[in-house]
Amino acid sequence: MKSVNRRDFLKLSGSTVIGLTLGSTVLKAQAQEQLSADDATAKALKYTPNSTVDGANCANCMYVQGTDGEQHRPCNIFPGKLVSADGWCSAWVKKPG
Ligand code: SF4
């Protein structure tokens, strides 16, 4: 009985490791994808890769992630996507500082 439980446990551990590995690969792949203006959430928030709002763009928004100077950066509002540094959406809030 004990050995069966141990085997089941090992099987479960193995698939968990595989699941986590695949999961992080998928997340990594998604994070590389640029946000399309046709994306449903992007449309709802009026995202554009070229801001027409004076002084407001993704590069100076508090939700942008990544490194200053990069053209395509992750955004907290669009998980797994990259937004354009020159972009804008209606969730824009000036980055503090
Ligand atoms: S919230 Fe909108 S404006 Fe701000 S970085 Fe994300 S897409 Fe750009």
Per-residue pLDDT tens over the stretch 7-64: 665 555 555 555 555 555 555 554 579 999 999 999 999 999 999 999 999 999 999 9
Does residue 61 have its Cβ closer than 6 Å to ligand 1? yes
**1 pLDDT above the threshold of 70:** no
**Rounded to the nearest whole angstrom, what is the distance from the C-alpha of residue 40 to the centroid of ligand 1?**
15
**Rounded to the nearest whole angstrom, what is the distance from the C-alpha of residue 24 to the centroid of ligand 1?**
24
Domain boundaries defined on the chain? 1-31, 33-97
Q: What whole-number distance in Å separates Cα of residue 2 and Cα of residue 42?
A: 53
pLDDT of residue 88: 98
CATH number, domain 33-97, options 4.10.490.10, 2.60.40.10, 2.30.30.140, 3.90.1150.10: 4.10.490.10
**Rounded to the nearest whole angstrom, what is the distance from the C-alpha of residue 9 to the centroid of ligand 1?**
44
Q: Is-above-0.75 flag for pTM? A: no
Residue with CA closest to ligand 1 atom 2: 89
